[in-house]
C-alpha cells in the first residue's frame, strides 16, 4: 500500500501506542476512527489530531471485553480500509495463577476480543474488495512462554497465530495482514519497570515503524530488529536448557 487509504480504525486508541499510531496516520492525511472504552475520553485526542492535521477524526465506543463485532462494525457506517488493534492488558502473573477471573480478563483482552474484531474487519474488507490492511499489535512475549508472564504471553501467542492464519487465508487478496511485535515500549503500562534502553522503543517509534511497514507491505514486524535476534535464540533453546533460565 504505497498509497495509503482510509479511513483508519484504531482499536485501543486510548493507549500511548494507539494514540501515536493514530497521529502518524493522520500525518499521512487519512481520516480516523478512534475506538476505545469510554469514548468520551477520546474526544479531546480526536479534536487535537483533527486540528493538527486537518483530517476528519471521530471517537467511538469499543470495549473488547463486551462487544459484538458485527454490531460494532455496522455502527461505524463505513468500512475502514485499515484496521489496527493496539489493545493490550498485561495484568498480574501471580494473581492470574490463582484467580481464574483475572486470567480470563488478560486472555480475552489480548487475544479473544481483538481477534474477533479483526476477523470481522477482514470479512468486511473481503466483501468490499480492493486494498486494505489488518494490523495486530502482538508481543515478543508470545514467541515463547516464560514463567514471569506466561498468561499474558499465551494470549499474545494466540493473537500471533490468529494473524498468521488470517494472513494465509487472505494471501490471494489485496489485504495486508500484519503482526507487530514492539518489545519493550515506554508507556503507562510499563511505568515503573526497569526497561533496558537499547531494547526499549518510544510510542512514536512504534507508530512510524507501523506506517512505514504498511507502505512496504511487511507482514511480521519487530519494531527494533534486535528483538528478532533475541527471540529467535530464545525460541530455539532446548527445553532442558530453557527451564534452567530465569526469564
- CA-to-CA distance for 60 and 233, rounded, in angstroms? 41
Q: How far is CA 76 from CA 14, 59, 117, 131, in A?
A: 18, 10, 13, 19
Q: Respond yes or no: is residue 89 known to be catalytic.
A: no
**Residue of 89, 111, 150, 152 marked active site:** 152
Buried-state track 194-229, b at ≥16 Cβ within 10 A, e below 16: eeeeeebbebebbbbbbbebbeeeeebbbbbeebbe
Contact 42, 17 (CB under 8 A): no
Q: Which residues are catalytic?
A: 152
Amino acid at each position: 500500500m504505497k498509497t495509503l487509504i482510509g479511513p483508519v480504525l484504531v482499536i485501543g486508541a486510548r493507549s500511548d501506542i494507539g494514540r501515536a499510531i493514530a497521529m502518524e496516520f493522520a500525518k499521512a492525511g487519512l481520516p480516523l476512527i478512534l475506538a476505545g472504552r469510554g469514548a468520551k475520553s477520546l474526544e479531546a485526542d480526536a479534536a487535537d489530531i483533527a486540528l493538527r492535521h486537518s483530517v476528519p477524526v471521530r471517537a467511538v465506543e469499543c470495549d473488547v471485553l463486551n462487544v459484538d463485532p458485527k454490531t460494532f462494525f455496522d455502527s461505524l457506517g463505513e468500512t475502514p480500509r485499515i484496521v489496527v488493534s493496539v489493545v493490550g492488558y498485561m495484568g498480574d502473573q501471580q494473581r492470574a495463577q490463582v484467580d481464574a477471573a483475572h486470567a480470563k480478563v488478560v486472555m480475552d483482552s489480548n487475544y479473544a476480543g481483538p481477534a474477533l474484531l479483526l476477523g470481522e474487519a477482514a470479512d468486511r474488507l473481503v466483501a468490499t474488495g480492493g486494498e486494505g490492511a489488518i494490523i495486530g499489535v502482538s508481543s515478543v512475549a508470545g514467541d515463547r512462554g516464560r514463567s514471569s508472564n506466561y498468561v499474558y504471553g499465551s494470549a499474545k501467542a494466540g493473537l500471533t497465530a490468529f494473524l498468521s492464519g488470517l494472513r494465509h487465508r487472505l494471501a490471494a487478496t489485496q489485504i495486508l495482514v500484519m503482526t507487530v511485535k514492539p518489545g519493550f515500549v515506554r508507556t503507562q503500562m510499563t511505568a515503573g519497570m526497569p526497561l533496558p534502553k537499547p531494547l526499549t522503543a518510544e510510542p512514536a517509534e512504534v507508530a512510524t515503524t507501523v506506517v512505514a511497514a504498511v507502505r512496504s507491505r511487511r507482514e511480521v514486524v519487530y519494531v527494533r530488529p534486535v528483538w528478532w535476534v533475541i527471540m529467535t535464540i530464545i525460541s530455539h533453546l532446548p527445553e532442558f536448557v530453557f527451564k534452567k533460565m530465569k526469564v
